[in-house]
Amino acid sequence: VTKLPIFEGIEDYLKEDNAPFSMPGHKSGRGFMSTEQGKKLYKSLINGDITEVEGLDNLHKPEGIIKNALQLLSKAYGSYKSYFLVNGSTSGNLAMIFSAFNEGDKVIVERNCHRSIFNGIIMRKLAPIYIKNKISRRFNAPLSIDMEHFLQLIHNNLDAKGIIITYPNYYGVCVNIREIIKIAKEKNMFILVDSAHGAHFGFNDNLPESAIRLGADMVVMSAHKTLPSLTQTAYLHVSNNVNINRVDFYVSSFSTTSPSYMLLASMDYARYYMESKGAEDFQYCIEMGRKYIEKINLLEGFRVLSKKDLLDENPEDIYDFDESRYIINMKDGYSGHKLIAYLRKNGVQAELSDESNVVLILSPFNNETDFIKLYNALRDCPMMELISKSIPIKINKFPYVSLMPYEVADKVSVKVKLNESIGKICAVNIVPYPPGIPILISGEVIDKEAIAMIQYYLYNDVTVLGIENDSLLIVQEGILK
């Protein structure tokens, strides 16, 4: 009988000794072991899990060591004010949305955004207008927003209070954030950036630019995704264009009153590390990445996309690319999902897969042995085992909006069969994974195209969140909970 299921599960995983190309950014503790200060921190991490005893300050009213650390953080990132988040970028996205907007405000937001943004929109009772995502036909992945559609939305919705943009996306692809910030300023709209995957940006000239330095109003970054910091840690940076009292209130409201000092100390360490070694170490990481792109791309069957591949593919919509990401692209007819499972069996932990790609997060703490393990696994890969029918991603036009997502939260919902749902109001988000872009958002009217699209993904064995046994939840009209 298992007595300690979680710990035993972790132990089993650690025994696999995988090359870490996934989160967290400290890569199995290596990030702490790379400096003398980090080694000391590593040794006292568990001991250091203390509470707000005398002399150790208070995250909710920082006046001592936490205040000092926050000032150093703000200086390192060039913000007006910065915050430590102990509940991830999720809490940062909620705090941004609540501080910047009021009930009923209209916001322009990318359809392919993180669930914390959708949830924030519901909780704050906002009226969202969605930006279309662009699909790369060549690489079969959602790689950017549709800039032309974005400009059109701005033009048609000058009463919107703000814009929420993901920069970069999960694949490391960056929209033209410079231009988007400029437009937001011209139109007097708040610009909020979910930079969960971009905490390392701006520290090396070969990395994309930092959104807060470019003048965004509020920027959230997960320290744990790309920096040597513990899982769950994130930063929020704000400019002097926002109401600081509101931000203080909402950040505090979405944070536990018992933040672990292990988390706080690791965020402080990640900032220290990036300031002292970030530029040099990320240079090493990028160069190692480039070296192995060349080697891997000589192998039959795989193509690690270079910055040039991506920029050539879509010059109007893709502005930059984070070279500390690998997108391993498979030819048509081969499955990214099968490749990620094969890599794991062969000692390589990747971050994400879609129908045609596997995404890896590289870091300065990945040594050459990790890259050799990856290369050898790909070289020895029996391609026959990765064959699957390739399913090209489809995008439809957005369905008609009948209710705001927050209005649906107050209504009773009932289950109906998909093929009997036409004309009804959807009560959940219907999201095929991959690509993760919602076909329907709660409050939208289920039309013929949406049903056909859902059936297309189900027929091709793609998981569609919100669909169970060919049924989905619809709003029982007129009935309040």
Which residues contact ligand PLP by CB under 6 A?
A: 88-90, 93, 114, 116, 166, 170, 194, 196-197, 222, 234
If the CB atoms of residues 120 and 399 are measured against ligand PLP, the closer one turns out to be: 120
Of residues 283, 243, 277, 275, the one with CA closest to residue 74 = 275
If the CB atoms of residues 22 and 222 are measured against ligand PLP, the closer one turns out to be: 222
For residue 83, CA distances in Å to 166, 174, 200, 259 come to 19, 24, 16, 13
Rounded to an integer, what distance in angstroms lies between the CA atom of residue 9 and that of residue 2?
Answer: 10
* Dihedral pair phi/psi, residue 138, rounded to 5°: -70, -40
Give the 3-state secondary structure percentages of the chain, helix then strand then coil, rounded to 5: 35, 20, 40
If the CB atoms of residues 170 and 190 are measured against ligand PLP, the closer one turns out to be: 170
If the CB atoms of residues 89 and 176 are measured against ligand PLP, the closer one turns out to be: 89
Closest distance of CB 322 from ligand PLP, Å: 13
Of residues 414, 442, 413, 410, the one with CA closest to residue 426 = 442
Chain residue whose CB lies nearest ligand PLP: 88
Closest distance of CB 32 from ligand PLP, Å: 19
CA angle 144, 146, 149 (to 5 degrees): 160
Of residues 267, 285, 471, 457, the one with CA closest to residue 366 = 285
The CB-side HSE value for 306 (13 A sphere, CA atoms) comes to 12
If the CB atoms of residues 89 and 335 are measured against ligand PLP, the closer one turns out to be: 89
Closest distance of CB 22 from ligand PLP, Å: 11
Closest distance of CB 130 from ligand PLP, Å: 16
If the CB atoms of residues 359 and 453 are measured against ligand PLP, the closer one turns out to be: 359
If the CB atoms of residues 166 and 335 are measured against ligand PLP, the closer one turns out to be: 166
Task: List 81's β-bridge partners, or say none.
Answer: 238
The size of the chain, in residues, is 481
Closest distance of CB 246 from ligand PLP, Å: 21
Check if the beta carbon of residue 9 is closer than 8 Å to that of residue 339.
Answer: no
Closest distance of CB 92 from ligand PLP, Å: 8
What 3-state DSSP class applies to 136?
strand
